[in-house]
Amino acid sequence: MYKVYVLESQKNGRYYIGYTGDMEARLAEHNRGKVKSTQYLRPLKVVYTECFQTGLEALRRERYLKSLKSRIPIQQLISTGAISSAG
């Protein structure tokens, strides 16, 4: 099982999107500063996850979410679990 996740920085409210096969271990890596792109965002908390059967499915979803390039659809996803076509 793979998860696409959205982390929120408790420091400045920024989001980070990723995917993993081990959510607990990956979150620990983020919060220990082992992930270069989130070192300055620590501490981080998980605010959203989606589950997928394969890594390829998770990777495709992660790429799609990252392509949105806006906080608005990500905030909508977190609050409702869906992204509207208007967002």
Q: Write out the chain's pLDDT in tens, 87 residues.
A: 999 999 999 999 999 999 999 999 999 999 999 999 999 999 999 999 999 999 999 999 999 999 998 899 999 999 998 886 654
* CATH code for the part of the protein at 2-80: 3.40.1440.10
pLDDT of residue 28: 98
pLDDT of residue 69: 86
- Which residues, other chains included, contact 26 with Cβ-Cβ below 8 Å and sequence gap of 6+? 5, 18, 20
CA 39 from centre of chain: 15
Q: What is the pTM of this model?
A: 0.92
pLDDT of residue 42: 97
